[in-house]
């Protein structure tokens, strides 16, 4: 039990997928203009990432490994992720049209979110079991959402702040992201 808690804490804070591993940077910059969309994106990604991490583990463990087809990992994981994203899109469209409208183009774009494929590959690389895979995927997604929401909240304030003209827009956003990354380095050593 303790090791699962440690794994969760370490994926959320210490090995944060965005700020330490630098995966999933496009939605991090793209969807962080408004807090509302950032939350929606965080929730959608959490759902997709956890589910796809579990599904990729199952495909890898029970299909690719017995047939010794591990070299097909990347392509089959992409397939799994595409299906999970499509499925999520349908569910969101049905259950929450508001969220569907809000996420718009970004929902299909989770397919190309490198964090999702990255987590699936990292899972098989570090030979995680079923529960570990699920926790790893969930933790990474929570870390992603946490950072995304924090970043969006900061950007909303930065818009009204008096930023020097050359730094306006993306420049100040990238600097903020860099400073956040530095801040998250402070968590190193929290979990061994």
Partner 1 sequence: MITAITTLTLLALCFGAILGYAAVKFRVEGDPIVARVDALLPQTQCGQCGYPGCRPYAEAICNGEVDINRCPPGGEATIIALADLLGVEPKSLDPEMGEERGPVVAVIDEQTCIGCTLCIQACPVDAILGSAKQMHTVINTECTGCELCVEPCPVDCIAIVAVPCEPQRWRWPLPHLLAEGVV
Question: Where does this chain bind partner 1 (CB under 8 A)?
Answer: 59, 63-64, 67, 69, 72, 75-76, 79-80, 83, 86-87, 90-91, 93-94, 97
Taking the least distance from each CB to partner 1, the nearer of 97 and 186 is 97
| Least Å from the CB of residue 72 to partner 1 | 6
Q: Find out whether 114 and 24 touch, Cβ atoms under 8 Å.
A: yes
| Least Å from the CB of residue 97 to partner 1 | 8
Nearest of 159, 181, 180 to residue 170 by alpha carbon = 159
| Least Å from the CB of residue 90 to partner 1 | 4
Taking the least distance from each CB to partner 1, the nearer of 91 and 98 is 91
| Least Å from the CB of residue 164 to partner 1 | 26
| Least Å from the CB of residue 70 to partner 1 | 11
Taking the least distance from each CB to partner 1, the nearer of 66 and 189 is 66
Phi, psi of 127 (to 5 degrees): 50, 50
Structure tokens at 118: 């990255």
Taking the least distance from each CB to partner 1, the nearer of 14 and 64 is 64
Taking the least distance from each CB to partner 1, the nearer of 97 and 169 is 97
């Amino acid at each position: 039990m303790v090791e699962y808690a440690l794994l969760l804490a370490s994926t959320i804070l210490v090995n944060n997928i965005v700020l330490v591993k630098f995966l999933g940077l496009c939605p991090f910059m793209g969807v962080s203009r408004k807090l509302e969309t950032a939350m929606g994106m965080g929730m959608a990604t959490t759902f997709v990432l956890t589910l796809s991490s579990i599904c990729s583990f199952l495909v890898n463990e029970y299909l690719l490994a017995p047939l010794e087809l591990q070299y097909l990992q990347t392509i089959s994981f992409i397939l799994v992720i595409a299906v999970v994203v499509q499925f999520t899109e349908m569910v969101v469209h049905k259950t929450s049209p508001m969220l569907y409208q809000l996420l718009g183009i970004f929902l299909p774009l989770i397919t190309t979110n490198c964090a999702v494929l990255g987590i699936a590959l990292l899972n098989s690389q570090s030979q995680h079991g079923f529960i570990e895979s699920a926790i790893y995927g969930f933790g990474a997604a929570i870390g992603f959402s946490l950072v995304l929401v924090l970043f969006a909240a900061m950007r909303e304030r930065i818009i009204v702040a008096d930023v020097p003209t050359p730094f306006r827009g993306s420049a100040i956003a990238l600097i903020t992201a860099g400073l956040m990354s530095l801040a998250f380095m402070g968590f190193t050593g929290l979990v061994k």
